[in-house]
Structure 1
């Protein structure tokens, strides 16, 4: 596959890049258990690039979470000058601008991420973008959504009135990440044909996180659930905050969560057929990620929707069993 790493075990040959990707792998292993387990099913050459994208997204999210109204703000999108012939800038020039903006962003987030880790993650990210030819626009879209999380920025939001508004946020926070991954994973159809499903799967993962982490988000003064959908069941911000303080669910909240879980599962149903548009070798990894993320919804239900009392976690034996099933199926497919 063009762009894959050529060193041992899928690592780049250059020592400084090996160290950078090793840092990204550590971040993915520490913070993204389901995500990291799924990447183990990928071929070795693909794993470092996927870890780099995860580590970058995680790092920016950490910076945003600790941001104050006047600090660590992600700068506005720079205007790109057209070339002398009037055409759009070369991709390399746009990537250089992304790098400069990201470096400025990360330097402002000094309290969230150590400088050495920032530099390593950014180095691996830049190498991944160049190696796989990932479209820079997906990173602009990601940063646009991150600005929506920072108090004091023009587009800041801590609540979302409708699902359409929430999807606008998820277009950058989740769908864009699915689109960043496509060139790494590879497709059996032209990439544009696989993009809608990849974006939908990213959205499905993100909404699952929002349903699982309602309490944590309230602690940061945010609600990532559509107010109009909640209002149908008599739920508003004050009721959610009251439940969080008590550490107990309310029947109205339980009904609202059941409704939103049904909506979330519908997104998975629409997204999952798109897995067949990916290269066969990567399908087990993405199926594993989809199955395990959707299993978080099962855990919320089996916990009687008590999202304020305990975090819904898929048991380790369940995660390993799903991964083993996919690994075995993939091995049998290759042996035919």
Structure 2
């Protein structure tokens, strides 16, 4: 298994102090455990106090910044380890596995999530004064990096807007652009640039991913999906697996199973209804694939989740 860590350099005192200040700021704004949406569009704060088992999580296009605690994310054969010096950039919708390794009442896991506005990313990238990113061999839709003084400062300025909500409509967009700029100045910029740049194969693959997320219950015909992505079937297969570590059919299956699980847990659907709702024609096939994917049959799995209050989906 490949492991990707945010960085290995010894941080200077300034950046360590800024990370601690950001952790204190998040804890003040998110005093209780859980997810805390804010008045800034797309920005949420997270406060977790207990380690978790490894569970399925969906990462939408966005930026997660960790300032306290430790978390592990698995995608395909790559393991991403995130601690108090890390950020995680998700450039496409990817289903992965997530596990909180270190969190407690005294030292909770604290993080923020900012949903990326891809039109804004493209606008920032169109500027002549944005440097080109060095080429990278990393192709998956997740990438981890080390937080910098500039990035932490930009995030602090965004959080300060929560003290003056009247400034958010004007300054919130500027703060978003500054954070994007800081990410584009890191070695991880190539992943964001690849998915946002018009004409790139990554963007075309993202178009196919978007179609699957919106139409997961429909039958999958690879020729039609490739036409949507404007590429050949074999090229789509290759690019899709490079970004998501799975085939389009496997991706659709995960979407169906995760959605069915959520509908049973949150909306009280029985397994048969959930199976048909997400596109299965055979309930027995649904049960077999559900058991292989989650480790338990549908009814037992949902009962265990309710008893343990394990979250189905997390973007923290």
Q: TM-score range by the shorter chain?
A: 0.3 to 0.5
User: Greater helix share, 1 or 2?
Assistant: 1
- TM-score using structure 2 length: 0.34
User: Greater strand share, 1 or 2?
Assistant: 2
